[in-house]
Amino acid sequence: MFVLGLTGSIGMGKSTTAQLFTELGVPVYDADATVHRLYEREAVAAIEQAFPGTTGAGGVDREKLSTHVVGNAPAMKRLESIVHPMLRAHEKEFLTGAEQAGALVAVLDIPLLFETGAENRVDAVLVVSAPEEVQHARILARPNMTAAKLETILARQMHDADKRARADFVVDTSNGLDSAREQIRHVLAKVATMPRRRS
């Protein structure tokens, strides 16, 4: 089975691209959705122990947790040391299930793929991109988003140009769904002939 890493900065259309893969019958692992589930269940006790007062009846309170970890590198490292092993276990489970189901390609949707070194766990990387003005317009149209918040988010992510330079494939989402769908079909045709390279 070929494992394709999917990534892209905020506002580039990564979630929509992941959905298009799903529509084409390709199994997609969503790292963000898995984090949400961990914050509701298995990570709650460990996070409460590391960051007292950050959880409640509904699990981890992301707002409270962010006051502890945003801008605090050692705290962020501690949080990652709790969450990342759990994420990896779910990822392995997903890949095993996809392979057993006979999938020829599986997608790992990981927002911080390059930033966390996850490119070593995939056979190729697809970066979802769009012109900067399209990206900013999409993000600033979101509820409660401000220019200052946007700058903070972008500062934590690798620059789009750097991601594109390291990608095996780039899907441009600025020309609508049909264009993106066609680009994805092209990617799937290409990966069918590519060698596996994950370590």
Instruction: Please report the pLDDT score of residue 98 as a whole number.
Output: 97
Instruction: For residue 25, say whether it is annotated as part of any ligand binding site.
Output: no
Q: Are 108 and 118 in contact (CB under 8 A)?
A: yes
Instruction: Please report the pLDDT score of residue 115 as a whole number.
Output: 86
Instruction: Please report the pLDDT score of residue 157 as a whole number.
Output: 83
Instruction: For residue 117, say whether it is annotated as part of any ligand binding site.
Output: no
Instruction: Please report the pLDDT score of residue 131 as a whole number.
Output: 94
Instruction: For residue 16, say whether it is annotated as part of any ligand binding site.
Output: yes
Cα(89)–Cα(188) distance, integer angstroms: 26
Q: What are phi and psi of 54, to 5 degrees?
A: -100, 5
What burial class does residue 165 get, using C-beta atoms within 10 Å of its C-beta: 0-12 exposed, 13-18 middle, 19+ buried? Answer: exposed
- The residues near 57 (Cβ < 8 Å, ≥ 6 apart) are none
Instruction: Give the predicted TM-score (pTM) of the model.
Output: 0.89
Residue ranges, the chain, pLDDT below 70: none
Could you write out the DSSP letters of every residue in 52-77? TT-EETTEE-HHHHHHHHTT-HHHHH
Domain boundaries, the chain: 2-192
CATH architecture of 2-192: 3-Layer(aba) Sandwich (3.40)
- The residues near 136 (Cβ < 8 Å, ≥ 6 apart) are 11, 150
Instruction: For residue 92, say whether it is annotated as part of any ligand binding site.
Output: no
Instruction: Please report the pLDDT score of residue 34 as a whole number.
Output: 96
**Bridge-partner residues for 169, per DSSP?**
126
Instruction: Please report the pLDDT score of residue 71 as a whole number.
Output: 81
- The residues near 30 (Cβ < 8 Å, ≥ 6 apart) are 18, 109
